[in-house]
Amino acid sequence: MSHPGTILRTGRKFDQVLVGAREVFMTDGFEGASVDDIAKAAGVSKATLYSYFPDKRLLFIEVATTECTRMADRALDLIDQSKPPREVLTIAAGQIVPFLLSDFAQQVFRICVAERERFPELGRAFFASGPEMGCNRLMAYMTEAKARGELAIDDLEMAAEQFSELCKAKLWVRAVFGIQTRFTQAEIDDVVENAVDTFLARYGV
């Protein structure tokens, strides 16, 4: 798995490969993840693995992108964007904060930082599928809420970035530095509530 190529996203074992790769990446990191271990965890042959992903970087990017998209889609399914901003933003933050603190997000963040010199495309891909996509979806909601007169925002991109950063308050940095690895629902709810209160104090109508 050393040469970039095209991902084959068809076939019944594609999802198996992603599940197996996710397990190995989370356990061994990017550099430590071997093709043999990924194939074993996925229950497929190395030949099958190569047929889907000719390069390990592509596989890692696909795993990260799939997980981020799943989280974002789940948040959208829970949110009725016609509801008042406090309700919408509380649900959004209630999805964002636990995801940022999850073992998956923390491990992917560490991998992207560790590999940024050799494989900067890993970080770019995670940024595009995670923070950037999340901010774009927040901007889409905020645009509609602004049009309804529910939010007073001049710079939508900045506002979306600020909301995302508010969701990192207090707990995220503790997770990044390994000071705390498990968080209670009460701790998460406190960050969510404060993020929404602070944002609406600035942009609420």
Judge whether 61 and 108 are in contact, CB under 8 Å: no
Is 68 in a helix, a strand, or coil? helix
What is the residue extent of each domain of the chain?
Answer: 84-203
Topology (CATH level 3) of domain 84-203: Tetracycline Repressor; domain 2 (1.10.357)
Each residue of 126-145: pLDDT tens digit? 888 888 988 999 999 999 99
pLDDT for 4: 44
pLDDT given for residue 9 in this prediction:
66
Residues 6+ apart with CB under 8 A from 146: 152, 153, 156
17-64 pLDDT, tens digit per residue, is 999 999 999 888 888 889 999 999 999 999 989 888 888 888 988 888
Query: Which residue matches tokens 């595009």?
Result: 128
Q: How far is CA 185 from CA 42, 51, 109, in A?
A: 33, 42, 22
Convert the pLDDT of each residue in 78-136 to its tens digit.
788 889 999 999 999 999 999 999 988 998 898 888 888 988 888 888 888 888 988 99
- Residue pair 160/139 in contact (Cβ under 8 Å)? The answer is yes
pTM: 0.82
Contacts of 192 (CB under 8 A, 6+ apart): 90, 93, 94, 97, 167
Q: Which of 129, 139, 128 is nearest to 164 (CA)?
A: 139
- Cα-atom radius of gyration of the chain, to the nearest Å? 19
Sign for the CA dihedral angle at 185, 189, 195, 198 comes to: negative
Q: Is 33 exposed, middle or buried (0-12, 13-18, 19+ CB in 10 A)?
A: buried
Assign 7 a pLDDT band (cuts: 50, 70, 90).
Answer: low
In the prediction, which pLDDT does 2 show?
40
- Do residues 20 and 47 make contact, with C-beta atoms less than 8 angstroms apart? no
